[in-house]
Structure 1
Amino acid sequence: MARWQANHIADLIRSVEPAAELRMVFLSSVGDRDRRSGFQQIGGIGAFTKESEDTLLRNEVDLVVHSLKDLPTRLQPGLVLAAVPKREDPRDAICGVTLDQLRQGLRVGTGSIRRKAQLLALCGGLDIRPLRGNVSSRLRKAKNREGIDATLLAAAGLSRFGLLHEASQIFDANVFPYAVGQGALAAEAREEDTALIALLQKIEDRQARTEVDAERALMRSLDAGCSLPVGVSSSWHAGTFTLRGQVTHPDGQTKIVDESVGLADQAEAIGRSLGHKLLQQGAEEILKAAPHIAEE
């Protein structure tokens, strides 16, 4: 996935600057190397990004590409989110069964506390089993019933690998909100590299940037990392942007849902406003009940 993402950003850069000289440097993180340990053991939030950010700060590379949902909402000093290209479908997909086939005792594999909480809110009594690994291995386990009957994956990830046909169903985001930043890529650079940032601005998609800026502002206002059971969905109407947020208790028994509306240039304010609304309704207590593990 990391190679696909890096090559995609490289292609976008070449499309706006054909003379650009690009050299790919592929890095692995502790989250990539250790597929057995839980996220708390390998560092939790930032497990997939900190090492590459450190490489950027040491001037060993000039640009780092991330899956945006892996990127902490507070960047290391000296680094900026330089560009967010056009976003792919941010929704979640379930593979192995459909929503109306969920039942007590069904074994569903996921390493995401958000997905687990939202699944339990839809169907209590599911047997949610920890699951890590790449897209292919998770699909194989669900298809072959290797300890699980179904798994949840990002529709964007399936699409990038040409595997969207493996999805039994793509969830309606109003029923099953997606992770902050899901489906979007992040081009991260050093704040001082103004020429590079100006180049990267040429590949930015305004709508995607508005959505993720609002989503990340929501998470900061909740003081929540990418690991917690916070789901979002965005919608647009006549230039007006609506951000909907859901905080779900890990046991699925309680959820809080609200939304905020504004214009495209009000992304930060929209996210903060929504966070304030959710906190007023008790989101803090729900978030305290959630283990701090990373979205997978």
Structure 2
Amino acid sequence: MHLRIGTRRSPLAMAQTRYIMGLIQAKRPEAEFTLCPIVTIAERNGASEFHEFGMVGVFAFEHERQLVSGEVDFVVHSLKDLPTVLHEGLVLAAVPEREDPRDALCGATLASLQSGARIGTGSLRRRAQILNLRPDVHVVPIRGNVGPRLARIEGEDSLDAVILAQAGLRRLGLEKVSAEALDPVLFPYAVGQGALGLEARAADTDVIEILKSIECPQARAEVDAERAMLHALGAGCSLPVGASASWREDRLVLQAQVTSVEGTERVVAGGSAAPERATELGLSVAETLKERGGAVILEKSYSSYYPTFRTLAARPGQ
């Protein structure tokens, strides 16, 4: 079977896609592939921070458009970039084994950061959480691929540290540049971080069967809980919502946190359930976060950082 795979053009996206190709070929040696690089809205826009796009789905819109039009057979997403509402007719067909989902501090450890240190990130969540833990540092907005971000530590107008995903570093063979993998209890990661999402057309049952063969049930339960929680909060992937999934014997444990953008407020909630009830677990944790003030914090984030908010989760034609 020949499969056309949609993917971003970055070195990390290509590494992730080749990893998926290897998993599929281990199950289906006869499979052949064509890589179809896709330029996203985010890559065409020069905004320095993701919230400046004023929309949800900047990394997924073009992928889904090409799926709907039949230009590709499935797409490989960093699952943290995929909105919780998919285009009509598309499904999250599979979630392979998850890589380390934690955030990594590169250039310094949390304890070694001096007061006034300059920390680079383009994420509102990371900004909020680092300021909550270290209100004495300054956050500098940065964007770009992993390499250029790391170069900011020693380059012109250098930063003291940058925050990146540990999974991305590992997939690129750069895990040694991580000074510290941040404790997800204190620094919960983005919903879906470290996981890959394989999106396909619901009607393409043959493609879905192939993709299902490489799914990891444990990773799927984790991200189903996390994404249900995020969706119930009405929050996009760019807002300051963090999650941490773990296992206690055969039960899935979900911890979540909503943090004000300036880091001055923090609301946490958690719970556990059997993996087949992952979605219900996510909804329950979201409800607790709302009751504890998380909804108010998120509303402030929307009004402050998304004054012209619009969503790409509801795709054209819907």
Fold in common (TM above 0.5): yes
CA contact (8 A) 2:49 2:142 kept: no
TM-score calculated relative to the size of structure 2: 0.89
Partner of 1:229: 240
Distance in structure 2 (CA, Å) of the matches to 1:40 and 1:174 = 25
Gaps of 5+ in 1: none
Secondary structure of 1:26's match?
Answer: strand
1:23 aligns with 2:34: yes
Partner of 1:265: 276
Distance in structure 2 (CA, Å) of the matches to 1:237 and 1:38 = 37
Distance in structure 1 (CA, Å) of the matches to 2:201 and 2:184 = 34
Q: Aligned pair in 2 of structure 1 residues 45, 183: CA closer, same or farther (>3 Å)?
A: same
Secondary structure of 1:54's match?
Answer: helix
TM-score calculated relative to the size of structure 1: 0.95
CA contact (8 A) 1:30 1:42 kept: no
Greater percentage in strand = 2
Between the two proteins, the alignment pairs up a number of residues equal to 294
Q: Which amino acid letter does the alignment assign opposite residue 21 of structure 1?
A: E
Partner of 2:3: none
Q: Tell me by how many angstroms 1:40 deviates.
A: 4.7
Secondary structure of 2:149's match?
Answer: helix
Secondary structure of 1:25's match?
Answer: strand
Q: Which amino acid letter does the alignment assign opposite residue 300 of structure 2?
A: A
Mean Cα deviation higher: 93-102 or 178-187: 93-102
Q: Please tell me the root mean square deviation across aligned C-alpha atoms, in Å.
A: 1.6
Distance in structure 2 (CA, Å) of the matches to 1:225 and 1:36 = 17
* Identity of matched residues, %: 46
Distance in structure 2 (CA, Å) of the matches to 1:38 and 1:230 = 16
Distance in structure 1 (CA, Å) of the matches to 2:41 and 2:54 = 8
Partner of 1:183: 194
Q: Which amino acid letter does the alignment assign opposite residue 273 of structure 1?
A: S
Partner of 1:208: 219
Residue by residue over 1:97-129, the C-alpha shift from the partner in whole angstroms, topping out at 9 and shown as x without a partner, is 111123431111100000000001101131111
Q: Which amino acid letter does the alignment assign opposite residue 36 of structure 2?
A: V
Partner of 2:260: 249
Q: Tell me by how many angstroms 1:288 deviates.
A: 1.3
Partner of 2:24: 13
Q: Which amino acid letter does the alignment assign opposite residue 265 of structure 2?
A: T
Q: Aligned pair in 2 of structure 1 residues 58, 274: CA closer, same or farther (>3 Å)?
A: same
Gaps of 5+ in 2: 1-11, 312-318
CA contact (8 A) 1:35 1:132 kept: no
Residue by residue over 1:154-202, the C-alpha shift from the partner in whole angstroms, topping out at 9 and shown as x without a partner, is 0001111111101111111111110000000010000111121111110
Distance in structure 1 (CA, Å) of the matches to 2:233 and 2:137 = 28
Partner of 1:78: 89
